[in-house]
Structure 1
Amino acid sequence: METKPQNNKQLEKIRDMIEDIRIAMLTTVDEQGNLVSRPMAALQVDEEGTIWFFTKRTSPKVDQVESNTSRVNLAFADVGDANYVSVSGTAQELDDRAKVEELWNPQAKVWFPKGKDDPELILLKVHINMAEYWDSNDSMMVRLVQQAAAAITGKPPKMGENEKVYN
C-alpha cells in the first residue's frame, strides 16, 4: 500500500499503523438500518487523510454509501501485534480513471479480471474525520506476563498507547 506524508501530523501514526495492517472491515448502513461490514484492502492513505479502495460499481456498499449520508467506519486489526485502528469517516464513490491507473496493482486483477479498464471498477474514498488507535509496543510474551500479573494483583494491565485523532 502506498502512503503519503500527512498534512495533519497527528494522522502519521494512524497512517503508519494502517500501512502495516492494510485490510479493514468497512461498515456501512443498509436500507433497513442494519450495520453491514465487509473486508476491504486499503490501497493508499493520501496527504489529506483519505483512504482509497477499489470496489465494484454494482456493489451494495456503493448504494449504501450514496443513500445513508456516506458515514462509514473502518476497523483495522493486527491481533498478533495487538495493534488496532478504528476510523470514522465519510465515504464517496468516484469514477476517476487517472486515480485507478495510479492505484492499480496486479492483485486487483483477481477482483477485476478485465483489468484497470473494467467498467465495474470504481474507487471508494473514505475521508478520515476521527480515528482511534490502540498500539501495544510490547512483545506477545511481555503482554502475557502483564496479563498474568493483572490477574494476580487485580489491577488492569497497561497494554500500550491509546489515542483519538481528529482530522
Structure 2
Amino acid sequence: MSDQYTAAAGSSPSLTEKLSDLRAFLNSIKSVILTTHAPDGSLHARVMAIAEITPDWKFRFIYDRESYKDVEVENDKHVNIAVDGMTQNKGWVSIAGKAGRVEDHDIVEKLWNPATKAWFADKGDGVHDGTPSDPRVAIFQVKVDEIRHFHQQKTSLGTALDVVASAISGSTATPGEVRTITGEEIASAWSAGQLKEP
C-alpha cells in the first residue's frame, strides 16, 4: 500500500532500516496510547509505558490482571498502540496487533523496576503486596499485525516551509513518509535470523 507522502518522497528503505528508525523513535518516547475494545463495541484508550520490545517485535507491558483490560481482550484481542511525536517533530506510529496475557514471572522479574510498585497497592493480605510475585501482576503482550510509521524527515523549520510552499503551489507537502511494516515481514526476517537484539 502506498500513500501520497511515500509516493512523493520516493524512497524505498529496507526492512532493517525501517525497523532501526522505528526502534530509535520508540526509544525516545516515554509512553504510548493503548486502545482496546469493550464488549459493547466501545473503544477505550489509556496511557501505558512499554516495558519491553522483544527482538521479534512483540510489545510487552506490565499490568494489573484485575483491570478492565483483561475483560476487553477476552472480548476482542485486536488492539492498537499509538504514539504521537509530532509536537517534537518526530512523526507518529500506529501499531495494529493482537493482545494476550503472559503469566511468566521470570519475565515479570526481568522487566520489573521499583517504580512499577506504585501501580499495585499493598492490600495487606500477605499475597497482594505489589511485588513481582503478586498474582495481579502479569504481562500484556501485543503481537504485531501491521505498523504504520510516519517517519519525519525534515526539521520543524523545514516542515513549516514545505507546508507553506505546498499550500501556495497546490502540491503535496512531504515532511516525511508513511512506512508500512507487516507482521509477516517481521516473522519472516526473524525466522531468517535477520533480526538482532537491540
TM value normalised by structure 1: 0.87
Correspondence 1:73 to 2:89: no
Correspondence 1:34 to 2:34: no
Q: Among residues 164, 173, 176, which one is paired with 1:157 in the alignment?
A: 173
In proportion to residue count, which structure has more helix? 2
SS at match of 1:115: coil
SS at match of 2:28: helix
Correspondence 1:83 to 2:99: no
Q: Among residues 52, 60, 68, which one is paired with 1:60 in the alignment?
A: 68
Instruction: Tell me, in whole angstroms, the C-alpha distance in 1 between the residues paired with 2:97 and 2:20.
Output: 16
Q: How does 1:8-157 map to 2 (within 5 A)?
A: 9=16, 11-68=19-76, 70-79=77-86, 80-113=88-121, 114-157=130-173
Give, in angstroms, the shift of residue 163 of structure 1.
1.1
In proportion to residue count, which structure has more strand? 1
Give, in angstroms, the shift of residue 150 of structure 1.
1.7
Aligned length: 159
Instruction: Tell me, in whole angstroms, the C-alpha distance in 2 between the residues paired with 1:135 and 1:37.
Output: 23
Instruction: Tell me, in whole angstroms, the C-alpha distance in 1 between the residues paired with 2:19 and 2:155.
Output: 24
Counterpart of 1:81 in structure 2: which amino acid?
Answer: N
Higher-Rg member (1/2) = 2
Give, in angstroms, the shift of residue 96 of structure 1.
1.1
Check conservation: 1:92, 1:126, Cα contact below 8 A: yes
Give, in angstroms, the shift of residue 71 of structure 1.
1.1
Check conservation: 1:14, 1:131, Cα contact below 8 A: no
SS at match of 1:102: helix
Instruction: Tell me, in whole angstroms, the C-alpha distance in 2 between the residues paired with 1:106 and 1:48.
Output: 26
Give, in angstroms, the shift of residue 148 of structure 1.
1.5
Task: Show the counterpart of 2:190.
Answer: none
Tell me the alpha carbon deviations over residues 19-69 of structure 1, each in whole angstroms, 9 at most, x when there is no partner. Answer: 22241111111010111111111111101210000111111111111121x
Instruction: Tell me, in whole angstroms, the C-alpha distance in 2 between the residues paired with 1:44 and 1:31.
Output: 28
Instruction: Tell me, in whole angstroms, the C-alpha distance in 2 between the residues paired with 1:88 and 1:37.
Output: 14
